[in-house]
Amino acid sequence: MKNSAVLMCLLCILSLGTLKAQTSKGKFLIGLSSTLAASGKTPDIMSFSSSTTKYKSDVANSPEYSYKESSFNLSPKAGYFVVNNLVLGLDLSIITWKESGSSSEYKYTDKTSILGAGPFVRYYVSSGKVLPFLELGGLFGSVTSKSSGMGSSETDKSGISGFGGGAGFAAPLGDNVTFDVMIVYNSFTSKDKEDNPNNNRTSVGTFGIKLGFLVFPGKQKE
């Protein structure tokens, strides 16, 4: 997956066009991105991943065991340039992670879903064929975790909040579309919504690479 991301970046850089002024006051942008996280067994460890693992042994009567893991994350966004090169907008986050395992003795399924939204601000630095940028943002939403197995099931709901930011560049794919690459750091805090008298909470910080496409609707300004 990481090799594919690097290849996409190289192809975009090699096919750069001229990015004319699409970041002037009054312009809009809409886009979609996804994050390759650096570490941790969390719902966003890798975008659009799916894997199957099987354990076998030649030992007599040793049971076979297998588990499947899948995840994806999407971040739609929309924004408006309040002044030249400075855009304010809204990010959405849709993340799921699922693991299921089975053997001759038992089966289980664990699934986590995150749905959130938050504001972002991005500033573009005017340059040549590419536009470097800085971005900051926040996230507020909910986490739903479901576990089932051995004849029982459990559902847990918690709130999540976070903030993050990063730096990257926008490579043009024509006059109104860019391919974005950004190195990001995000910090998230989650806590149970119910049965939490001690206000227990978990904080996680992750580094990652965020890849996406942005569209600048409207005619090109000269």
pLDDT tens for 155-195 read 888 888 989 999 999 998 888 899 999 999 888 888 877 77
**How confident is the prediction for the chain on average, in pLDDT?**
79
Return the SS3 of 10. helix
Q: Would you place residue 221 in the very low, low, confident or very high pLDDT band (cuts 50, 70, 90)?
A: low
- Cα separation of 49 and 95, whole Å? 12
pTM value? 0.75
pLDDT digits (tens, 9 = 90+) for 55-112: 666 666 666 777 787 878 889 999 999 999 999 999 999 988 888 887 777 788 889 8
Degrees, nearest 5: CA angle 64-65-70 = 150
Query: Within 10 Å of residue 35's Cβ, how many Cβ atoms?
Result: 24
Is 2 strand, coil or helix?
Answer: helix
The whole-number pLDDT of residue 56 equals 67
CA distance linking residue 74 with residue 145, whole number of Å: 18
Question: What are the structure tokens assigned to 72, written together?
Answer: 């994806």
Rounded Cα distance between 161 and 138, Å, is: 8
Nearest-angstrom CA–CA distance, 162 and 185: 11
